[in-house]
């Protein structure tokens, strides 16, 4: 990701300034909204101020889950959301940010998007869904926490009947574990946990979780999970409007999005690590590693989910095969080449 920050912005020659109205799926104060705004600011810089994007927060025009439809219809010029929110439209959307990803980390998943066929498969998926949009997948962040729990969990049996807020393919996985998953908009999650409508919830990351107020409602915070091993964002454009842009402006947008990968990764490192530590020291949050027995059960559940969904959806199966092929070589290469980071951390810092 580091290399993308140094990408040179293409020269853009456009006679007038274009201003577009976008909306995200995020509340105004969270870091995901910052990522969206930062990316749009970089687009404006790359285009020499010729393309300006106003990124509205969730609900300003449409509810968060309706952003893709609003962009497709032209109600919005564009938007910022998660592909996994399209799971109800086609289960294959869930593969772009949910699932175990076969050992890929966030950067390797982005590598699959850019160089392993993921971008082309996502375009195929959008066409099958009849969405008139152009999507830029970007900004994958570190593994999403398993989430906030009212009570401690020790093993898979503690998930039986648990009302757990999640989204996309993770709903299937949690059902396989005997939980009672609940899908709801991000903005509705904290109130539902506070009122006892749900027993536990995954939300986003330490920074957004803290900003929204989860430490005031639950104190057991479980980290590490295969429900959403990596999270991909997407920046959407109305297809007709994007196609009408000159070629150099399209390339300026693409370059800006690539550069945002580094921005998002580095900002995440700083902010999320700080907020995780502060939640423990200032908010009384008890941080747990998700028990190994639960992680193993999640992988077993994914085996069943993948088999079932692949059998009923050829495009789902095609994407799975592509991810596996990329992961088989890239994760192997990374594992055998990269020296253990935990040993020096423990020796000198831990």
pLDDT digits (tens, 9 = 90+) for 206-254: 999 999 999 999 999 999 999 999 889 999 999 999 999 999 999 999 9
Does 106 map to a domain? yes
d(CA 194, CA 213): 10
pLDDT in tens, 12-44: 444 589 999 999 999 999 999 999 999 999 999
**Residue list, annotated binding site for Na(+):** 203
Which range, 83-87, 176-180, 186-190, is most confident?
Answer: 176-180
| pLDDT attached to residue 168 | 87
Binding site membership: which residues?
Answer: 144, 165, 202-203
**Looking at the domain assignment, is residue 67 inside a domain?**
yes
Q: Please, which pLDDT band fits residue 2 given cuts at 50, 70 and 90?
A: very low
Determine how β-strand 286-289 pairs with β-strand 163-165. unpaired
Q: How far is CA 101 from CA 7, 77, 171, 224, 319, in A?
A: 28, 31, 16, 14, 11
205 found inside a domain: no
**Could you give phi then psi for residue 137, rounded to 5 degrees?**
-80, 135
Q: Is residue 49 domain-resident?
A: yes
Least confident of 73-77, 166-170, 206-210, 253-257: 166-170
SS3 letters across the chain:
CHHHHHCCCCCCCCCCCEEEEEEECCCCCCHHHHHHHHHHHHHHHHCCCCEEEEEECCCCCCCHHHHHHHHHHCCCCEEEECHHHHHHCCHHHHHCCCECHHHCCHHHHHHHHHHCCHHHHHHHHHHHCCCCEEEEEEEEECCCCCEEECCCCCCHHHHCCCEEECCCHHHHHHHHCCCEEECCCHHHHHHHHHHCCCCEECCCCHHHHHHHCHHHCCCEEEECCCCECCEEEEEEEEHHHHHCCCHHHHHHHHHHHHHHHHHHHHHHHHHHHHHHHHHHHHCCCEEEECCHHHHHHHHHHHHHHHHHHHHHCHHHHHHHHHHHHHHHHHHHHHHHHCCCCHHHHHHHCC
Tokens of 17: 């300034």
Residue 318 CB partners (closer than 8 Å, separation 6+): 121
- Domain assignment of residue 160, yes or no: no
- The answer to whether residue 73 sits within a structural domain is yes
Assess contact for 69 and 89: CB atoms under 8 A: no
Query: Tokens 């107020």 identify what position?
Result: 213
pLDDT band at 3 (very low <50, low <70, confident <90, very high): very low
Look up the domain containing 264 and give its range.
2-140+229-271
What is the average pLDDT score of the chain? 94
| Domain containing residue 135: CATH number | 3.40.190.170
The Cα–Cα gap between 334 and 112 comes to 14
> Residue 16 has what pLDDT?
85
283-326 confidence digits (pLDDT tens): 999 999 999 999 999 999 999 999 999 999 999 999 999 999 99
Please, are residues 116 and 92 in contact by the beta-carbon 8 Å criterion? no
As for how many domains the chain has, the answer is 1
- 280 vs 223: CA distance, rounded Å: 13
Taking the CB of residue 29, how many other CB atoms lie within 10 A of it? 11
Least confident segment among 6-10, 25-29, 175-179: 6-10
User: d(Cα 268, Cα 254) in Å, to the nearest integer?
Assistant: 21
pLDDT of residue 5: 43
Sorted by sequence, the CB contacts under 8 Å of residue 33 that are 6+ apart come out as 24, 26, 27, 55, 57
Residue 108 has pLDDT above 80, yes or no: yes
Place 63 in a pLDDT band, splitting at 50, 70 and 90.
very high
List the binding residues for substrate: 144, 165, 202
Question: Confidence band (pLDDT; 50, 70, 90) for 141?
Answer: confident
By the 10 Å C-beta count (0-12 exposed, 13-18 middle, 19+ buried), 284 is classed as exposed
Query: Is the residue at 50 inside a domain?
Result: yes
């Amino acid at each position: 990701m580091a290399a993308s920050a140094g990408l040179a912005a293409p020269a853009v020659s456009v006679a007038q300034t274009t201003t577009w109205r976008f909306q995200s799926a995020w509340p105004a104060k969270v870091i995901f909204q910052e990522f969206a705004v930062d990316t749009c600011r970089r687009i404006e810089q790359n285009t020499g101020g010729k393309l300006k994007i106003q990124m509205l927060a969730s609900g300003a025009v449409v509810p968060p889950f309706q952003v893709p439809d609003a962009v497709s219809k032209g109600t919005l010029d564009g938007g910022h959301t998660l592909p996994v929110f399209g799971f109800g439209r086609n289960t294959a959307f869930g593969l772009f940010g949910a699932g175990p990803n076969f050992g890929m980390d966030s950067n390797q998943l982005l590598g699959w998007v850019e160089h392993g066929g993921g971008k082309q498969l996502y375009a195929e998926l959008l066409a099958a869904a009849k969405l008139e949009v152009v999507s830029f997948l970007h900004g994958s962040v570190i593994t999403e926490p398993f989430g906030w729990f009212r009570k401690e969990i020790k093993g898979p049996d503690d998930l039986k009947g648990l009302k757990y807020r999640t989204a996309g393919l993770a709903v299937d996985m949690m059902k396989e574990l005997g939980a009672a998953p609940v899908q709801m908009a991000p903005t509705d999650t904290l109130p539902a946990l506070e009122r006892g409508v749900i027993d536990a919830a995954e939300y986003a990351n330490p920074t957004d979780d803290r900003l929204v107020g989860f430490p005031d409602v639950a104190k057991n915070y479980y980290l590490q999970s295969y429900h959403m091993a990596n999270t991909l964002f997407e920046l959407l454009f109305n297809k007709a409007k994007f196609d009408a842009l000159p070629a150099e402006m399209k390339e300026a947008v693409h370059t800006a999005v690539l550069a945002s990968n580094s921005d998002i990764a580095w900002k995440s490192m700083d902010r999320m690590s700080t907020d995780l530590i502060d939640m423990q020291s200032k908010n009384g949050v008890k941080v747990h590693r998700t028990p190994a027995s639960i992680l193993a059960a999640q992988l077993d559940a994914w085996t069943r989910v993948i088999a079932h969904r692949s059998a009923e959806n050829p495009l789902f199966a095609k994407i799975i095969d592509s991810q596996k092929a990329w992961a088989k070589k890239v994760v192997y290469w990374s594992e055998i080449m990269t020296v253990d980071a935990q040993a020096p951390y423990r020796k000198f810092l831990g």
